[in-house]
């Protein structure tokens, strides 16, 4: 029996061969995969931006009204909103369309990892035909 040709493999449980795609505990038969793509889900920044605006408003109000407590909470709110904003990252998704429907088996903030897997599955599909 011929051994599978491997197109991608990593330590996170992802393996792409000329016969199947294994993503952690789910196996897709390559012959059933019709297409694969990656997409981006942009983060919702409404909360962090509102927090920064409220914090800056409190800071200005505290300075103008000479309220140290309002200014303090303004700084706390502004800094918290800033760090919340900085922590918001886009999420990359791997989408697989097969005979049984479309699924999104992987999500990550690592764009290159998702694109490498997508590229490997596309190469395996091309190799199969």
Q: Give the CATH number of domain 6-41+90-128.
A: 2.30.29.30
**What mean pLDDT value characterizes the chain?**
92
Across the range 54-71, mean pLDDT stands at: 93
pLDDT digits (tens, 9 = 90+) for 67-90: 889 999 999 999 999 999 999 999
pTM value is 0.77
| pLDDT at 2 (0 to 100) | 58
What phi, psi does 112 have (nearest 5°)?
Answer: -65, -40
Across the range 41-49, mean pLDDT stands at: 96
Q: How far apart are CA 84 and CA 101, in angstroms?
A: 36
Cα-based distances in Å from 123 to 21, 29, 34, 104, 117 = 12, 15, 13, 19, 10
For the cut 90, the answer to whether the pLDDT of residue 38 exceeds it is: yes
Across the range 52-60, mean pLDDT stands at: 96
For the cut 60, the answer to whether the pLDDT of residue 1 exceeds it is: no
> Domain coordinates of the chain in residue numbers?
6-41+90-128, 46-87
Backbone torsion region of residue 27, taken as left when φ is above 0, otherwise alpha when ψ lies between -120 and 50, otherwise beta: beta
pLDDT digits (tens, 9 = 90+) for 101-116: 999 999 999 999 999 9
| pLDDT at 90 (0 to 100) | 97
Across the range 48-67, mean pLDDT stands at: 94
């Amino acid at each position: 029996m011929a051994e599978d040709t491997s197109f991608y493999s990593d330590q996170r449980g992802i393996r792409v061969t000329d016969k199947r795609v294994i993503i952690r505990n789910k196996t897709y038969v390559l012959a059933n995969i019709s297409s694969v793509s990656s997409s981006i889900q942009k983060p919702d920044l409404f909360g962090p931006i509102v927090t920064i605006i409220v914090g800056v408003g409190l800071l200005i109000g505290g300075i103008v009204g000479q309220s140290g407590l309002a200014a303090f909470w303004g700084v706390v709110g502004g800094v918290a909103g800033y760090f919340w904003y900085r922590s918001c990252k886009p999420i990359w998704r791997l989408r697989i369309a097969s005979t049984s429907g479309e699924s999104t088996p992987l999500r990550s903030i690592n764009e290159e990892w998702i694109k490498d897997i997508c590229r490997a599955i596309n190469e395996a599909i091309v190799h199969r035909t």
